[in-house]
Structure 1
Amino acid sequence: MGKYTIEEFVKQTKQDERENEFFELETPRVLEVNLTDQVWAKTGSMISYTGQIKFERERLLDHGVGQMFKKALTGEGASLMKARGQGRLYLADQGKKITIFELNGESITVNGNDLLAFEPGIEWDIRLMKRVAGMMAGGLFNVKLSGTGRVAITSHYEPLTLLVKPGEPVITDPNATVAWSENLTPDFRTDVSFRTFIGRGSGESIQMEFKGEGFVIVQPFEEVVMTGNSSS
């Protein structure tokens, strides 16, 4: 195992050349986009492409209202690129596992750093968590995606979905929280005793609390994103 002739290796790892759907998992960590028009993708996620494709960068702050405030908090880490043209586009993000959702008139909110790509027909809006932006390295933000079409998100290792039920709130670490259902709005709380108990930095004392009915997707990894700006 792990030993191949060159011919065997190419056969085992080559791309799937059949006509596939718009979003297709080429491997669990590589997304193939069969592009005929355009797609939104995380800036820097392109690893390869064939055909005639042009890339344009657009910061999330260029979309929607409050651009200057969003720019100050999200920094360079919050950006998307638009790929236009025809061909096959391969996307990946630091070897993270990729999950594809098909929205049917629904919404899902995704941590900004865990959004990989989505179809152009999907409506999107940046949501800043203003109350905690000054407390968390990287400035926590998320993207609400709505409509009909495919969305690809990423997680470190296997994601876990936690069900939120009335009277049974779910508490998560913001750095391990990937996405949540449309009818949930997280509250933030601090727990100094918890921070003291585990003996870590102040970021550990911030927790997300989900109440109501829905689901939260978490990953077994605390992802701290450092951006170009810092908040005090």
Structure 2
Amino acid sequence: MGADRSVKAKEHAPRTESDARHHANLADLTLVLGLAVAAAMFCLAYTVLNPLAQLEEVTEVELRRQWADGSIVLRLTTLGFCGILIWKAIDCLRRISGVEGKPHEFEKETSPLTPRLSDDDRRLRDFCQSGFFVAALFLLWLMYAEGVRAPATAALAWTFAFFSDDWIITSDYSRVLKGRLLRSHRWRMMAANVTLLVILNMVVWEEWGWSGMLGTDAILLPLLLGRRQADKR
């Protein structure tokens, strides 16, 4: 009886270390994907519904003010980035489920490349980075909803617009190159993460104090840590 139980336990346990790692990655990816998609849907809803509720107040003067404070840039960027993020999340879930999509450009040419990261690690790294961007976007829209308007928030809107578009291109390259990131892409992402983190902390500390800053870091830093760990596996 004891031997039979031991055999059954071994059958239900992960067969190899890679199996255990796959399950851990899948759990982390599910959490990151769920939070990122939820934040993206909030940002999309606010971007679309808020102007509709204020149509009577839209004047030429108001449009100029929104251009100056970064609101228009942020709205356009939100529509593009969050829409692509949700589409990529759906595509990721389909591929995990075994439903293969169309091959990406140059995928056949680069198929002989030795993977730098497994698909699990690459997906986790890339969605942690995307989650960092959408979390920063969520916090930025939260500040706009609270009426926070400052040169720093305008700078954040333009910074996000530039680097989020850059990241979409970088992640597509990374997938085709099997987890590899070009050196210039790595430096740009590092600059994006540091810039967004520092300016966000400055604005949040000025508006909401130490508690707000700690809450901001509690959201953003684990995503950067998850990205770093997945990239080094």
> TM-score of the superposition, structure 2-length normalised?
0.28
Q: Which has the higher helix share?
A: 2
Compare CA radii of gyration and give the structure with the larger one: 2
